[in-house]
């Protein structure tokens, strides 16, 4: 894993819609991931499913992947959409066949999982035309919200790591506090 893992006791913070949509909107996430209704998609570090719920109506299956069972419990209490399957595992060891996932996305979590093992696993499970959309707190951000600046990555550093693991960077954008990155399998 990367830096410290989000505390499941603070799960209610992930459901504060006003604060969440300030940093990434559902519309923006759907644009970045561009899921097809027949796609199998993975949400990397899904937490309480706040953004899983945004993608769920637009894909065939969304695997909600989180290393903390307690996060899936919070999501289940809220109600799982029919298309969502929770999977309790680290991104470093995904229980999927090679090339079996059409798209993956991650919101505010890249800094927690960005190890070589995790990025290698992601590349392994994505199809040859797989798409990856990441929104996370920027290392160049203001630091007014989110994790400490020294626990974050810049979009350049994240892009470099993804290139090293077989991705091409299609789009990057840095905002005052966050970055958005779209990568595709080479
Ligand atoms: C800051 S929360 C964000 C949750 C969700 N993406 C959102 O935006 O609402 C990060 C989540 O990622 C999970 N996580 C962190 N590292 C992980 C890893 N290596 N593998 C799987 N899940 C991980 C944590 O348990 C936590 O639920």
Find, among 56, 51, 91, 48, the residue nearest to 73 by Cα.
48
Contact 11, 78 (CB under 8 A): no
Pocket test for ligand 1, best of 1, 6, 72, 152 (most atoms within 8 A of CB): 6
pLDDT at 170: 98
Q: Is the CB of 49 under 6 A from ligand 1?
A: no
Residue nearest to atom 13 of ligand 1 (CA): 45
Reduced to 3 states (helix: H, G, I; strand: E, B; else coil), residue 133 is strand
**pLDDT grade, residue 186 (50/70/90)?**
confident
Q: Is the CB of 138 under 6 A from ligand 1?
A: no
Q: Is the CB of 169 under 6 A from ligand 1?
A: no
**Residue 99 C-alpha to ligand 1 middle, in angstroms?**
23
Instruction: Work out the mean pLDDT of the chain and round it to a whole number.
Output: 96
**Residue 175 C-alpha to ligand 1 middle, in angstroms?**
21
pLDDT at 1: 44
pLDDT at 131: 98
Spell out the domains of the chain, with CATH numbers in brackets. 8-185 (3.40.50.150)
Give the tens place of pLDDT for each residue, 116-161: 999 999 999 999 999 999 999 999 999 999 999 999 999 999 999 9
Pocket test for ligand 1, best of 17, 26, 45, 120 (most atoms within 8 A of CB): 45
**Rg (the chain; Cα; Å):** 15
Give the tens place of pLDDT for each residue, 35-80: 999 999 999 999 999 999 999 999 999 999 999 999 999 999 999 9
Alpha-carbon distance of 94 to 77, in angstroms, equals 24
Q: Is the CB of 55 under 6 A from ligand 1?
A: no
Buried b (16+ CB within 10 A) or exposed e, 27-40: ebbbebbebeeebb
Alpha-carbon distance of 96 to 16, in angstroms, equals 32
């Amino acid at each position: 894993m990367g830096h410290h893992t989000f505390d499941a006791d603070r799960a209610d913070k992930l459901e504060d819609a006003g604060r969440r949509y300030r940093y990434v909107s559902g519309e923006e996430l759907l644009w970045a991931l561009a899921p097809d209704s027949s796609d199998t998609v993975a949400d990397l570090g899904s937490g309480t499913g706040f953004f899983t719920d945004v993608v769920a109506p637009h894909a065939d299956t969304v695997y909600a992947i989180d290393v903390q069972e307690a996060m899936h419990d919070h999501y289940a209490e809220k109600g799982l959409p029919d298309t969502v399957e929770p999977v309790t595992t680290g991104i470093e060891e995904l229980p999927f066949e090679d090339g079996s996932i059409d798209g993956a996305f991650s919101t505010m979590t890249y800094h927690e999982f960005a190890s070589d093992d995790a990025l290698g696993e992601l590349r392994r499970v994505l199809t040859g035309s797989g798409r990856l959309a990441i929104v996370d707190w920027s290392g160049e951000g203001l630091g007014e919200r989110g994790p400490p600046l020294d626990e974050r990555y810049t979009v350049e550093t994240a892009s470099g790591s993804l290139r090293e693991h077989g991705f091409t960077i299609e789009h990057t954008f840095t905002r005052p506090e966050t970055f958005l990155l779209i990568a595709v399998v080479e």
